[in-house]
Amino acid sequence: MLLTDGKFYGNTVQRIELEHFNLTLTVYASDATLPKHHHENPYLSLLLEGNYIEKGSKGDTIIAGGHSIFRPEDHEHANIFDDQPGKCFNLELKNNLSDMFDREMKTQRTMIFKQSLLDLFLLHYRFLKGHAADTLDMLSLEIVTSLFTQDQLSRYGQAAWIKTITDRINDMPDDQHLVDVLAAEVNIHPVYLLRKFKEKTGLRLSEYITRVRLEKAANSIVAGQENLTGIGYSSGFYDQSHFSRSFRNYFGVSPRDFSKTIKG
């Protein structure tokens, strides 16, 4: 079955149509079973509550709270939710983006993120808070551009030492990650590491580490793991004031206020 522009199974509780995107919040009953289908437009879906089995051509995958999945337009799938109600936030690309991402659209594949993109949480928060349509559209465009860029890098490669470092940071965000230790691990000079890392990723190493830690924290808040103090520590913020300050600098609110808005 084909679901056309802006249409999703489940109950749509909030939706906004932007210039280039549709943003949709959908809820699902416990034990809901969605039949095999695909969508007219590609989209990125963030699971906010519940868990479900994604049944695709390559087998079954469990999608848990905080996970997200990018589905291209030809991705045929079915879903089975568990005994908890589900909630999804969907960032759908409209047809007028085809000229902007023509090559990327043709080569795109399904991507599953067990730690969702930090900017996707920011978009969802701003969507709930009713931010202006132009700012939501711009942030959506930045997310999709970054998503396609990352996918190209993952398929066609990047500097091996950069991948070693980013993998280490993503796998162990709560480690200290001293630049001398990282440089020794990949056998390059610390000054060269800092300069080339910024050049290749667009972020200073310290900025990248903070983003990864905030990403883990936002995922943990959505997944309902621990209390906020525990989330801060397990995400690599050894000082709670540093956690709150970093979180506020990015989201514009405290972790507690973010949690209250996301949880409704």
Q: What are the counts of helices (DSSP H) followed by strands (DSSP E) for the chain?
A: 10, 11
Tokens at residue 189, please? 């000079």
Q: Measure the CA–CA gap between 192 and 194, rounded to whole angstroms.
A: 6
Mean of pLDDT values over 141-166:
77
Q: Measure the CA–CA gap between 255 and 228, rounded to whole angstroms.
A: 7
Tokens at residue 241, please? 């004031």
Name the residue among 49, 65, 40, 56 with its Cα closest to residue 10: 49
Phi, psi (rounded to 5 degrees) for 3: -100, 125
197-242 tens-digit pLDDT: 888 888 899 999 999 999 999 999 988 767 899 999 999 998 889 9
Name the residue among 216, 201, 221 with its Cα closest to residue 170: 216
Tokens at residue 219, please? 């995922």
97-136 tens-digit pLDDT: 767 776 666 667 888 888 888 999 999 999 999 999 999 9
Per-residue burial over 193-212, b = 16 or more CB atoms within 10 Å of its CB, e = otherwise: bbeebeeebeeebeebbbbb
Secondary structure element (H or E) that encloses residue 5, with its range? none
- pTM for this one? 0.89
Q: Which of 20-24, 144-148, 244-248 has the lowest mean pLDDT?
A: 144-148
Q: What pLDDT score does 159 carry?
A: 79
Average pLDDT, the chain: 89
Name the residue among 84, 79, 67 with its Cα closest to residue 3: 79
Residue type, 145: T
Tokens at residue 4, please? 């056309």
Q: Say whether 116 sits in a helix, a strand or coil.
A: coil
59-98 tens-digit pLDDT: 899 999 889 999 988 889 999 999 999 999 999 999 887 6
